[in-house]
Chains A and B, each alone.
Chain A
Amino acid sequence: MTKSATSKVGRRAVLAGLGAAAAMPGLTRYVQAQSSEPIRIGFQVHRTGIGAAYGRWYDRTSKAAVKVINAAGGINGRPIELVTEDDGTDPKRGAEVVEKFATAHRADVVFGTLFSHVVIGSAPRAGELKLPYFVVSEGHHVASGMLNRYTLQPGITDVKSQVQAMAPFVADNLGKKVAMIFPDFAFGHDHRDFFSAAIAKQGGEVVAKIAIPPTESSFTKYFARIPRDTEVLYHVMVGPAVLTFVKEMGEFFGASRPEIFGFLDSLEAVDLATPGLEFLDGTYFWEGNPRYAQADQSAHDKFFREAVGVDANGASVSDAKDVSTYSHMFGCWETLHVIKAGMEAAGYQGPADRAKLIEAIEAMGPMAESRAHPQGAKRFNGKTHQTFGHQFISQVEGGRLVLRHRTSIEDTLYPDEVDYTTRPL
């Protein structure tokens, strides 16, 4: 029956019909794109695996940013639609998710990845697909030239600039002999290499470099390797066991601790009032964005907190025990606003304009402190695809973080290591 029906129609007619059918949906989509079709932003999130606590807050922050942007008219009048996929904080899964965004979801751009090993696993595929890939990771791998023209980090500063801005404070106020504890993957190695170099410039030295596998669950055995003559302990940890890490640090030192300088990564999503953390009183932390609303809180920070649902102590307004990853998650908010600004500058219509979008963002340069940039002003380097901004140093006082020092953007600058704009689009 079927056979005779097709044979009557004839080959040419079938071909012509197929061609028309293929053209039609494309045509209608293009017409819609002019007016109202949403911009689809693929959101690669660490919903499970060792990055889950960050993922939860990256998700809330991104949704809040999309709500704010859409309420104000979206991008060129088109609303943003966030398409979320979990990568399990796994590099292999990360590359698959990027692929899925490009083919199954037909996303315009992809954004949101944090953990550096997942970024490094996913970015090459995004580059091959010529899919703009906005990471919120802190890793130096973007600015180092390791990735590609389609990978950008416009919403959060990188480890190299952060530690470079911290080293003078550590050397001047805490001590010159530093023992470092860091997670044993790219992000931790960035800390190790760049801080060693930065403290040497200040006349200090790193007396021990202690790497800890990110899946480790007990830490006393590592603390035993801290040399006795250490003046400053520099710690940065990530993963589900961070609370255990800091608690065991307190149990190890007891009353006779050295000066301690940590990156707040070691306590992101952890309540500072948790029993066992009392010993941190008086120690210092780098913060990407002050968790506790400070006396001189800006109107933009206030707006950002309210939109995401974070109280003055950096916890969820609905659950005071659900502490945010405040030092990092602003990066999602700011990145989404950069994508909006970039698309509007490029007159972005659809996937054919992806290269124009990259060029528009590369041309951005300075970004003023505003609702779009509540953490502070930024300076985007179009050649290295990396943004630069202020860093914060806070001291623990009565179970709260009190801001002591805010670095300038100049403190965080370093010479370019790559010029992505010379690479083909």
Chain B
Amino acid sequence: MEFGPHLILALLEGLVQASVLMLTALGLSLVFGVMRVVNVAHGEFFMLGAVLAHVVAGWFGAHPALGFIAALLLAPPLVALAALAFDRTVLHRLGHDPERTIVATIGLLYVIQQLTLMTFGPEARPVTAPFNHRIAIPWIETTAAGLSFYFPWGLSTTSYKLFVVVAAFAASAGVWLMMARGRVGLVLRATQLDRETAQAFAIPVHQVYGFVFALGAGLAALGAVLVVPIRQAHYLMGGDPLLLSFIVVIIGGLGSLRGTVWAALLIGMSDGIVSVFFSPTLAKILATLLVALVLVYRPGGLFGAKPA
């Protein structure tokens, strides 16, 4: 492939990855920012979203679009409900203690993974995209007759991939609006800043925690529902999103939404570009190296508060 088309393809692939990563990482970042809970089971909520999408889409088998819309509307709330139940029954009883909740969510990771294996089975299962058209992208070249358009080999994307990017950005904008403008956001930010003072101002902190944990899981599930027509639902698919989300959240600054968005774009895009031009393994190496450098030189993250 020539350099120009190759780069465009890399950017497109990176953008799809970055937008899904952004949603997943936002969920992780919210949970950590507000609750100080490091949710190790976050990737499993992602997987659960994809698996439920397959199940729900199967109920409405008549038309792929109908099944997908049903999955989009039902799967994330179902995952959020499961997360809420876990918060009520376990995290709440641990007093949302940062250390003990890590162990609890590690346990949850295995419970979700094995329950899915026992019920859904070990196979990868597809969800049909509601629409999927190949869009070939033209490129300019200089010929004897001057500049002309042509369609380079392999330079293409699909309408569904573009939809994933748009939907992920719209959902992220929704989260940002809620945090920055709405009354809910005010309550969340107050809880994030100082839990005890917030409680003194009659903010029901534990209900806020339950809401945030459910929202975080729901965002991961939403990202999964969007990506499952491109990939497939599989019980082991939660590992990569968890690792990448942690990388993003550390680089962006724990609890900083703005930082999370920028870091997701940075990691997703660079992963796309490095994967296409060099190798996917090198992309992971570079991302992990960046985490190490950030932890050493900017422990608060690129966009997080500087440590006092």
Contact = CB atoms under 8 A, between A and B. Distances in A.
A331 to B, nearest CB: 20
Contacts of B192: none
Nearest to B271: A221
Given A221-B276, A251-B134, A254-B136, A244 B231 contact: yes
Contacts of A50: 236
Interface in A48-66: 48-50, 52-53, 55-56
A32 interface: no
Contact of B281 (A53, A213, A252): A213
A53 B125 CA distance: 11
Contacts of A224: 1, 6, 9-10, 154, 276
Given A221-B13, A276-B132, A52 B158 contact: no
A218 B156 contact: no
Nearest to B133: A251
Contact of B117 (A48, A53, A221, A253): A48
A275 B124 CA distance: 16
A216 interface: yes
B156 A49 contact: no
Contact of B122 (A49, A225, A241): A49
B253 interface: no
Interface residues of A, number: 32
B288 interface: no
Contact of A221 (B121, B230, B240, B280): B280
Interface in A107-123: none
B153 interface: yes
Given A216-B280, A240-B124, A241-B231, A254 B13 contact: no
A254 B232 contact: no
B237 interface: yes
B128 interface: yes
A254 B231 contact: no
A213 B153 CA distance: 25
B123 A240 contact: yes
B134 A52 contact: no
Given A226-B154, A228-B1, A276-B132, A243 B280 contact: no
B210 interface: no
B154 A252 contact: yes
A55 B158 CA distance: 34
Contacts of A220: 9, 13
A274 interface: yes
B275 to A, nearest CB: 4
B270 to A, nearest CB: 13
Nearest to A184: B281
Contact of B153 (A48, A228, A251, A276): A228
Interface string B136-174: 100000000000000001101010000000000000000
Contact of A241 (B121, B124, B154): B124
A217 B1 contact: no
A48 B272 contact: no
Contacts of B231: 217-218, 241, 244
Contact of B124 (A243, A252, A274): A243
A149 interface: no
Given A47-B122, A240-B124, A251-B158, A221 B132 contact: no
Contacts of A269: 123
A213 B156 contact: no
B17 interface: yes
B156 A241 contact: no
Interface string B106-143: 00000000000100011110101000101010000000
Interface string A329-355: 000000000000000000000000000
A221 B158 contact: no
A241 B156 CA distance: 21
A221 B272 CA distance: 7
Contacts of A253: 153-154
Given A240-B234, A254-B134, A274 B126 contact: yes
Contact of A217 (B117, B136, B237): B237
A228 B13 CA distance: 20
A244 B230 contact: yes
Interface in A249-303: 251-254, 256, 269, 274-276
A244 B276 contact: no
Nearest to B154: A252
Interface in B13-27: 13, 17
18 contacts: A50-B236, A52-B121, A53-B122, A213-B280, A217-B231, A217-B237, A218-B231, A220-B9, A220-B13, A224-B1, A224-B9, A240-B123, A241-B231, A244-B230, A254-B134, A256-B153, A274-B126, A276-B132
Interface of A: 47-50, 52-53, 55-56, 213, 216-218, 220-221, 223-226, 228, 240-241, 243-244, 251-254, 256, 269, 274-276
Interface of B: 1, 6, 9-10, 13, 17, 64, 117, 121-124, 126, 128, 132, 134, 136, 153-154, 156, 158, 230-232, 234, 236-237, 240, 272, 275-276, 280-281
